[in-house]
């Protein structure tokens, strides 16, 4: 399990207590969970385990490099980049970090974006459910795996779901997921950017017990 959109130490501590060590931070300025780089550094000083995901979108490359340099000074764990934009593989590879790309209908030819450091795709459940509701999911799966045939390595899959998503049963039979990914939002907040820790813990337990 991976939890993204983190912005406070209390929630991170709760995740550690629940043995969830894959943490995501949103550095997209338009995101409701946007975290400024200085605050990210402060939080990472307290996190020295697991893996950290840094989410960017259409960010200047020098800004990403600057953040990565600052992160490396305080955090010795694994750092994975996540992108929800449509740059080419040369752009993504220049950071020399494993990276995950958001997958949707506009992704285009995967040869253009899957470079040396490409790690996997993040699928939003709403996108997959839409394909399934139109009766095209089996055909889509075949085409998807065919589009990856040029890669000579395993691709990781992340399912980005809502806390209350009603997952269609055949999803996990047809597509292997390495992570289920949940984001901090109003479903687990008392108010804006204030996590209800009791509810948050309850939701995490429920999803774990029901196999995502």
pLDDT digits (tens, 9 = 90+) for 64-102: 999 999 999 999 999 999 999 999 999 999 999 999 999
The pair of three-digit structure tokens given for residue 102, joined into one six-digit string: 């958001």
- What is the mean predicted confidence (pLDDT) over 51-68? 98
Give the chain's mean pLDDT: 94
CA distances (Å), origin 5, targets 56, 62, 112, 132, 147: 12, 23, 28, 27, 30
Beta bridge partners of 23: 3, 52
pLDDT value, residue 175? 93
pLDDT value, residue 211? 64
pTM attached to this predicted model: 0.95
- What is the mean predicted confidence (pLDDT) over 109-120? 97
pLDDT-based confidence at residue 117 (cuts at 50, 70, 90)? very high
CA distance 109 to 134: 23
CA distance 3 to 183: 6
pLDDT digits (tens, 9 = 90+) for 137-165: 999 999 999 999 999 899 999 999 999 99
Provide, rounded to the nearest whole percent, the portion of the chain with pLDDT above 70.
Answer: 99
- Cβ neighbors of 77 (< 8 A, separation 6 or more) are 47, 48, 49, 50, 51, 52
- What is the mean predicted confidence (pLDDT) over 28-47? 95
CA distance 118 to 122: 12
Question: Is 86:106 a contact under the CB 8 Å cutoff?
Answer: yes
- Domains of the chain, earliest start first: 2-209 (3.20.20.70)
Q: At 15, is the secondary structure helix, strand, or coil?
A: helix
């Amino acid at each position: 399990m991976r939890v993204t959109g983190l912005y406070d130490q209390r929630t991170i501590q709760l995740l550690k207590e629940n043995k969830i060590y894959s943490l995501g931070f949103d550095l997209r300025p338009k995101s409701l969970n946007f975290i400024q780089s200085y605050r990210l550094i402060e939080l990472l000083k307290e996190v020295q385990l697991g893996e950290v995901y840094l989410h960017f979108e259409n960010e200047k490359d020098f800004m990403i490099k600057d953040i990565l340099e600052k992160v490396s000074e305080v955090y010795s764990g694994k750092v994975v980049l996540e992108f929800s934009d449509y740059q080419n593989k040369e752009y993504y590879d220049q950071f020399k970090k494993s990276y995950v790309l958001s997958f949707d209908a506009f992704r285009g030819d995967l040869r253009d974006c899957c470079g040396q450091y490409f790690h996997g795709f993040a699928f939003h459940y709403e996108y997959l459910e839409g394909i399934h509701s139109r009766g095209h999911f089996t055909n889509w799966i075949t085409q998807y795996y065919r589009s990856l045939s040029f890669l000579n390595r395993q691709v990781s899959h992340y399912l980005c779901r809502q806390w209350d998503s009603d997952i269609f049963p055949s999803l996990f039979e047809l597509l292997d997921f390495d992570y289920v990914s949940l984001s901090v939002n109003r479903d687990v907040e008392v108010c804006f950017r204030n996590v209800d820790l009791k509810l948050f813990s309850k939701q995490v337990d429920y999803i774990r017990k029901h196999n995502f």
